[in-house]
């Protein structure tokens, strides 16, 4: 399976690079984040084509738009059209679905005794 077959499901590995005169060029991932994309991870459980009773896991990760996830939808459409293993379930984690609790700085501490 070539990289072109699965759309843009592979993260690029380049980082910000110096540019002559402007001080640097933003990475593709940073540019996507500025457009509203967030890192999305999907755990895809599928049935093995040769052993239908056996489930196997595949992890997919890319920058995608919440809540419709168009890149994930494109990948799943590719999977269903081109691959033999039927999908069983897809679990999605996205920065807008799960994030750490917010903490605020305080000026003082009150102790209860």
Domain interval for residue 75 = 26-94
What is residue 48's predicted lDDT score, i.e. its pLDDT?
A: 95
Query: What is the phi/psi pair of residue 48, to 5°?
Result: -65, 135
Q: Is residue 72 part of a domain?
A: yes
| Count of Cβ atoms closer than 10 Å to residue 36 Cβ | 10
What is residue 113's predicted lDDT score, i.e. its pLDDT?
A: 60
Query: What is the phi/psi pair of residue 38, to 5°?
Result: -135, 155
Q: Is residue 106 part of a domain?
A: no
Q: Is residue 102 part of a domain?
A: no
| Count of Cβ atoms closer than 10 Å to residue 34 Cβ | 9
Model confidence, pTM: 0.64
What is residue 26's predicted lDDT score, i.e. its pLDDT?
A: 82
Count of domains in the chain? 1
What is residue 35's predicted lDDT score, i.e. its pLDDT?
A: 87
Sequential pLDDT tens for the chain (113 residues): 444 444 444 444 444 444 444 557 888 988 888 888 899 999 999 999 999 999 999 999 999 999 999 999 999 999 999 999 999 999 999 877 655 555 555 566 666 66
Q: Is residue 82 part of a domain?
A: yes
Q: Is residue 43 part of a domain?
A: yes
């Amino acid at each position: 399976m070539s990289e072109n077959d699965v759309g843009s499901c592979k993260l690029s590995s380049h980082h910000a690079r110096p540019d002559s005169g402007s001080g640097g060029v933003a990475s593709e991932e940073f540019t996507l984040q500025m457009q509203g994309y967030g890192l999305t991870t999907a755990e895809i459980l599928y049935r093995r084509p040769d052993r239908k009773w056996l489930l196997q896991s595949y992890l997919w990760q890319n920058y995608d738009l919440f809540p419709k996830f168009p890149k994930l939808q494109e990948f799943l459409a590719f999977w269903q059209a081109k691959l033999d293993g039927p999908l069983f379930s897809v679990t999605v984690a996205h920065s807008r679905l799960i994030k750490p609790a917010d903490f605020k700085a305080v000026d003082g501490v009150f102790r209860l005794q």
